[in-house]
Structure 1
């Protein structure tokens, strides 16, 4: 009896270890795992080599790379030595999910379960010889809008001018390329090399021109053997230079961007590069529509059209609204058009903080000097000094001493060349401000501490965050600790004190409003600002190849909470800024029509040359407009930046 029972138990164990359902389910799970990683070389197939099936699978799915499916195995149905199991596919392709279910068939062959191969194992209804085809439908890129929703960047017609090598006939490709390059004014040698290297059926573009206003005609292009034009639409600003440092550009994606996107970008997509175009690229670009179809690549052009399998419509991008005034921005750029060094002109509306214009001149080489430049403000910083002195009890009538020179710990400070002798000696604070007496303000360093300079600067909107700006910006840096000659230098806007043209305009705007102004550029309510003040040790950027500063949260001042500028304080400073025009360096601004202009000039030395190079500054208030003009290598603020400001304000009306 014991032997019979033992034999029965042993037989039951052997059956349990060889349960057909368990083995079939294990085979189905192995199949799903292998298809997920797109490598079925270890899966046994009925009557086929696994390597051959693997090659076919990879060919079918190739168009969907780098995406791979997730496969859930459903409830298996077992019938003697055959099984059927649903495989639930989920693809995540560029953020779009494609789901479907197929049925896999398995059969028991000798001692293992093998898969019956069919393309329908991968996609329902897929036929022999067919592969998947993926196409995207890009929505139009959303517009940039300016003040009053005026379109800034919008879809515009362009013409690609180049050589179509199929149209060359017997003509020499290099000769045609040279002729076309000279017509459109590109490098003949470089373009000829491109044309020579291209295939025999290639179209090689030499330049892309705006349709509106182009002077090179189709007739001129077609007169050159192989010369040809194609048309398309691109998101463009009103001109090639319009606010380029702020807006950035839109270009076809490159291979690095495609790889970094993890499938979010494909060849032929457009993406933002630099500025707001890059910062808000996802919002502006929208979501591509997706089309997946089945096609037989061997059927040729006469074969059946691709058979649709799955599609989603494109989702348009959302416009980005800004405060830029098209007329003022164009006027600002026109004002700086002939300035050689890096330069900027920023206009802010004090009542709202709206940035109406932020132009960087041609010498900035495409860099956003207006918002990201970091420079010593020179005597424009005497606005900060004056507010500190007023908070210490001074008024515009307070008598201060303006000496020709002042020695601080062995370093001699002096006034600018040509300082009027009649404004030396005991003068009012208003007169010292109007003529920009360096020694008078440096002499106040014992009563105006460095900590107070830092606190007062923030009262005027300098070196604090701008939560409504919505763009990268440098808003100034004023160290809270400095002694001796460094503190003395801070009193005249040098040392480690740094501002951007934007923050200089905000300083003037705060005086105009009688309250601390926080600038705003992007007005969409859901956008967030990425602007802040970097550390006080940041260095000024170098014209031509600067990098944006590291954005960081501002540190609390050493003197505690910041007190915003008041209307009474602003009135006193405004009185002194008006004196700069009526009796000081900026008398030429009296000719500007409209509201009386209030201003402050500034000249800041930099570098190690003898004599040193200088930054030229001027800030002004004209009604509900605050403006800062900056020239990186510009001599005196009054003589270099001043006439630019006068021209701008006069034309702005």
Structure 2
């Protein structure tokens, strides 16, 4: 380990003794020409850093004994590193043939480099067995790697140091063949207030975790009342057998719905004073089971608070969860987090954990072998900084309610076109904790035809241009057709407006020669698809991808939103929002993040948007989305979408719909459905009708 020592020590020593020449002369006359004390002083500095004293010439002590005592002194410091610099060497005022060495000692309080941890949380520490909170803090959201859990919006914590000075005495040993400077060992070498038998102890106090807010200042995540439910082994009568304790644990597990065998084994493995958690539940969710818990020996429900959203399901894949720091999180933190700390374990809670968590308080004490500890250094905890999102609590909860009975993975995303604010990003129960809404990657199917239509407008067509819509069309030996319920009245020569309103696959595929793949990708980009990454947006999201190159059947498939095209529900809601706004929209979820809008390679203007809106309105007025005519409020424009996938025969299909209404843009998605109008359509109608 390198030791930061001053290279100018010899020069400093010369300056320090310039005013005490007579003392120096005495040393010289008594000792002849003693060795340079600099190497001895620096060896002590190295030892105070490493704890290894084999390279130090000690006076009256064995290196092994000193090392053992030193280890005991620093054991409670949680592995914090320190640096030791030689500040000055002056002639000792009390002894001849001796030097007094002043050291500057600095502890790095920002990090725990070996993960051993100190005495976390100090007097505010929870019981030794902190509950895993199986109900509220399990991590089941960012599973595809889109969200780098170690990444935070903040820069690494600024260095926090504890600095002071200490002194050592070098005594000349001239009894052997070679004179050398020996060091007198005492605990005060490490800190001036340390005496024999004392040890240092680091205590940490968690800072108040900040809250997460939504649109209009609504509180999304805050401290809410919970019960920490478990087995308190101190509640058993003397003489209660281990078997009876395990039986009580298994009975409690049955009541709260956790693994009986696992809870029983943990009760068996812990000490007599342990609290063994089973689950943490919101107090509003406990209901009548409190009586059942009271009837079980040793079972308790301890009132507590925990940072939670309004409901267990509320935007859970987006907001994430808070829980005990895992070994991986502790390692990735480079010492800023220790075992036992409460941290964000997924979603925004993890991505912005450093900001939300704040800075823990630190207290360093000298603990004597007998008597009360004394505090020699203290930093007060600094509360975290609130995070503000754009989510509307009412819209998010309503979207989740609309999806509550949908079996396959599903999503509803609502974006405000004028601001780009993401008002709702709901993933249904079939998503099983994954953020289908923001991270799903699916072929967008016919909802992508609005981007294809934009490319065709740029190629010179208008909504009134005549196009051919045959029953089927063959491209390089592959036959494409329309969806099974396509109306015969819309076959033959129709307008581009009708082709989009009725969603004629063959018409769009037949126009593949009008726009190369690069133009199709540019049009998608102009509508926000694939534009922007996590760093620009400030949250984990997939905004789609459209390949620049494709030909033959691959390009033909791209014309109708298949092939290699991918989008998330958030991406398609962004496409709809751009059409509504008349400019490229960047979806905003976290205020203050991603303030610089990513620019498309080809700008999108309101004249193009007006033509696309006209065609989307036609889909509701007379096309495949006429069922939306009954939606109250402003005029609705929409586009249905169905995308085939997989190798089944007939193939399985994704069901999509996008819609615009006033300053509102929505995308609805169901992973497995019959069609956009039949599966996603009713969900969209319910959502728009209820907002």
Q: Secondary structure at the match of 2:59?
A: coil
Q: 1:452 aligns with which of 514, 519, 527?
A: 519
Q: Secondary structure at the match of 2:210?
A: coil
- The residue number in structure 1 matching 2:103 is 87
Report the alpha carbon displacement of residue 60 of structure 1 after superposing the two structures with TM.
0.5
Q: Secondary structure at the match of 2:61?
A: coil
Q: Deviations over 1:111-159 (max 9, x none)?
A: 3322222211111211221111111111111111111222111222322
Q: 1:101 aligns with which of 162, 165, 175?
A: 165
Q: Secondary structure at the match of 2:161?
A: strand
Q: 1:636 aligns with which of 675, 678, 681?
A: 675
- The residue number in structure 1 matching 2:336 is 264
Report the alpha carbon displacement of residue 464 of structure 1 after superposing the two structures with TM.
1.4
- The residue number in structure 2 matching 1:546 is none
Q: Deviations over 1:264-311 (max 9, x none)?
A: 112221222222222212111111111000113x54xxxx33210100
Q: Deviations over 1:79-129 (max 9, x none)?
A: 422222211101111232000111212322333322222211111211221
- The residue number in structure 2 matching 1:64 is 77
- The residue number in structure 2 matching 1:149 is 217
Report the alpha carbon displacement of residue 388 of structure 1 after superposing the two structures with TM.
1.8
Segment drifting more, 622-631 vs 143-152? 143-152
Q: Deviations over 1:584-638 (max 9, x none)?
A: 2222211111111110000000111111111100000111110000111122011
- The residue number in structure 2 matching 1:562 is 601
- Is the aligned partner of 1:395 residue 2:462? yes
List alignment gaps of at least 5 residues for structure 2.
1-27, 111-158
d(CA) in 1 for partners of 2:596, 2:568: 16
Contact 1:139 1:285 in 2 (8 A): yes
Q: Deviations over 1:312-336 (max 9, x none)?
A: 1112211111111111111111111
Q: 1:47 aligns with which of 32, 52, 60?
A: 60
Q: Secondary structure at the match of 1:495?
A: coil
d(CA) in 1 for partners of 2:570, 2:596: 15
Q: Secondary structure at the match of 1:446?
A: coil
- The residue number in structure 1 matching 2:116 is none
- The residue number in structure 1 matching 2:662 is 623
Contact 2:325 2:345 in 1 (8 A): no
d(CA) in 2 for partners of 1:21, 1:227: 73
- The residue number in structure 2 matching 1:406 is 473
- Is the aligned partner of 1:309 residue 2:348? no
d(CA) in 1 for partners of 2:640, 2:394: 25
Q: Secondary structure at the match of 1:577?
A: helix
Segment drifting more, 218-227 vs 182-191? 218-227
d(CA) in 2 for partners of 1:642, 1:124: 76
Contact 2:213 2:389 in 1 (8 A): yes
Q: 2:90 aligns with which of 77, 81, 84?
A: 77
d(CA) in 1 for partners of 2:390, 2:474: 47
Contact 1:156 1:236 in 2 (8 A): yes
Contact 1:468 1:520 in 2 (8 A): no
Contact 1:454 1:478 in 2 (8 A): yes
Q: 1:383 aligns with which of 450, 463, 476?
A: 450
- The residue number in structure 2 matching 1:25 is 38
Q: 1:364 aligns with which of 417, 421, 431?
A: 431
d(CA) in 2 for partners of 1:437, 1:203: 65
Q: Secondary structure at the match of 1:634?
A: coil
Report the alpha carbon displacement of residue 68 of structure 1 after superposing the two structures with TM.
2.3
Q: Deviations over 1:365-421 (max 9, x none)?
A: 211211111111100011012112222332222221111100111110000012111
d(CA) in 2 for partners of 1:19, 1:396: 105
- Is the aligned partner of 1:581 residue 2:653? no
- The residue number in structure 1 matching 2:346 is 274
> TM-score, normalised to structure 2's length?
0.84
Report the alpha carbon displacement of residue 20 of structure 1 after superposing the two structures with TM.
6.3
- Is the aligned partner of 1:513 residue 2:586? no
Q: 2:499 aligns with which of 427, 432, 444?
A: 432
d(CA) in 1 for partners of 2:289, 2:198: 46
- Is the aligned partner of 1:323 residue 2:387? no
d(CA) in 2 for partners of 1:361, 1:133: 49
Shift of the 259–567 alpha-carbon distance from structure 1 to 2, 3 Å rule, reads closer
- The residue number in structure 2 matching 1:187 is 259
CA RMSD for the aligned pairs? 2.2
Report the alpha carbon displacement of residue 528 of structure 1 after superposing the two structures with TM.
4.4
Contact 2:207 2:384 in 1 (8 A): yes
Contact 2:586 2:597 in 1 (8 A): no
Contact 2:417 2:581 in 1 (8 A): yes
- The residue number in structure 2 matching 1:416 is 483
Q: Deviations over 1:451-488 (max 9, x none)?
A: 21111111111121267631121111111111111111
Report the alpha carbon displacement of residue 25 of structure 1 after superposing the two structures with TM.
3.2
d(CA) in 1 for partners of 2:166, 2:512: 82
Shift of the 529–179 alpha-carbon distance from structure 1 to 2, 3 Å rule, reads farther
Segment drifting more, 587-596 vs 501-510? 587-596
Report the alpha carbon displacement of residue 21 of structure 1 after superposing the two structures with TM.
6.5
- The residue number in structure 2 matching 1:286 is 358
Q: What are the residue-to-residue correspondences of 1:202-351 with 2, within 5 Å?
A: 202-216=274-288, 218-296=290-368, 298-299=369-370, 304-351=371-418
Shift of the 96–562 alpha-carbon distance from structure 1 to 2, 3 Å rule, reads closer
Q: Secondary structure at the match of 1:70?
A: strand
d(CA) in 2 for partners of 1:529, 1:55: 56
Contact 1:581 1:599 in 2 (8 A): yes
Contact 1:144 1:320 in 2 (8 A): yes
d(CA) in 2 for partners of 1:489, 1:19: 95
Contact 2:416 2:664 in 1 (8 A): yes
Contact 1:580 1:586 in 2 (8 A): yes
d(CA) in 2 for partners of 1:256, 1:576: 51
Shift of the 529–207 alpha-carbon distance from structure 1 to 2, 3 Å rule, reads farther
Q: What are the residue-to-residue correspondences of 1:131-142 with 2, within 5 Å?
A: 131-142=199-210
